[in-house]
Amino acid sequence: MARKDKRSKKNKKNKVVMGLAAAVIVLGMTMGITLSGCGKANKVVAEPPTTNIENPLPVNPINPVIPTDPTIPTDPTIPTEPTIPTDPTNPGENPGIVDPIEQYTEAEYKVMAMEKLEEVITEAHDNDKVNTVLERKLSNFKIETINKENGTIYGYGDVNKIGNNTFIVSSLDNENFLKDCDSYKDLFEKSKDLQSQDFANVKAHQNLETEVDSTIYNNFLNSVVEDEGFRIALENEGINISENINQWQDLATVVNARIRNSNNIIVNFIDLMNNKTVEIIVNAELNLQQSSNVERQVMNTANKDKAYTVNSVQDYSTFSEVEAEYAPDFEM
């Protein structure tokens, strides 16, 4: 009888435990259903991520993530940020957009270099104390040629109180300044920082070509280069003139002549045979009537026996000729 009571109590205990377990399971299911319903009502349930066959990474249409793994192809429909080039003078520290380097033709560099030199030479001439006092201003100055060997620049310009088309000779303080310039690009780069004080002097000389008839002027110069005395004077300086030269244009392209006194005319052959610059004094014994004015003196000197004195001889070299090639928008 005692055993039967113990079994009965044990069975009752097991039934209670099983009932409690069933109740917990039911309660858990009920709460899960309730939470699931609440989540759906408030739209907080995590939806499965959308995927792209071409891009296996999840793509959020609101805030797309651009993959950084180079082995993973990018989605061409997703815009990427533009790459900003870095400043080569300060890599990694001050990134920024670098201005493109403008490229010019050699002809364009020549124009820009000449404009800069003409501007500085004009300023140097006008800043000269004597020219300032006498109000001799230079304008319309244009360069004819440059001697790289000694830093001398030749050209023509209008000088107030002297005359138009005056011969201008400008000498750089540093004679070697232009020696290492192999192109007009080099000249432009070197001339960018030039200032008027960099010129030792800028001199204005009479230009007989503007004061006498062109026929008289050409006859005078031709009479000089054809004269045996002229050739001998140059031979004494180590310069040999070909027998085939009959006109002054065959000997030089830049020539200037000016009156020294009633019996002497100074002639400058700037690019004599493209390798020398020569200044020579042409002497002719003229009476007062023959030299009473500039035109008569030039004409009569051409017809008289002449003597020659070489004042100076210098080496000459200049820049190679360039083709006139300009960009459509290049301003001259």
pLDDT tens digits along 252-283: 999 999 999 999 999 999 999 999 999 999 99
User: Taking residues 74-93, what's their average pLDDT?
Assistant: 58
Q: Which residue has better confidence, 90 or 130? A: 130
What integer best gives the mean pLDDT of the chain? 82
pLDDT over 80 (residue 10): no
Percent of all residues in the chain with a pLDDT value above 70, rounded to a whole number: 67
pLDDT over 50 (residue 3): no
pLDDT over 80 (residue 25): no
Among 148, 200, 201, 152, residue whose Cα is nearest residue 178:
148
Name residue, tokens 């009965």.
8
Residue-level pLDDT at 6? 46
pLDDT over 70 (residue 130): yes
DSSP 8-state assignment for residue 290: T
pLDDT over 90 (residue 17): no
Lowest mean pLDDT among 38-47, 70-79, 291-300, 317-326: 38-47
Residue 221 and residue 310: Cα distance in Å, rounded?
A: 16
Burial 68-89 (b: 16+ CB within 10 A, else e): eeeeeeebeeeeeeeeeeeeee
Residue 317 and residue 44: Cα distance in Å, rounded?
A: 87
Residue 208 and residue 257: Cα distance in Å, rounded?
A: 6
pTM: 0.69
Q: Can you name the residues that pair with 314 across neighbouring β-strands? A: 277
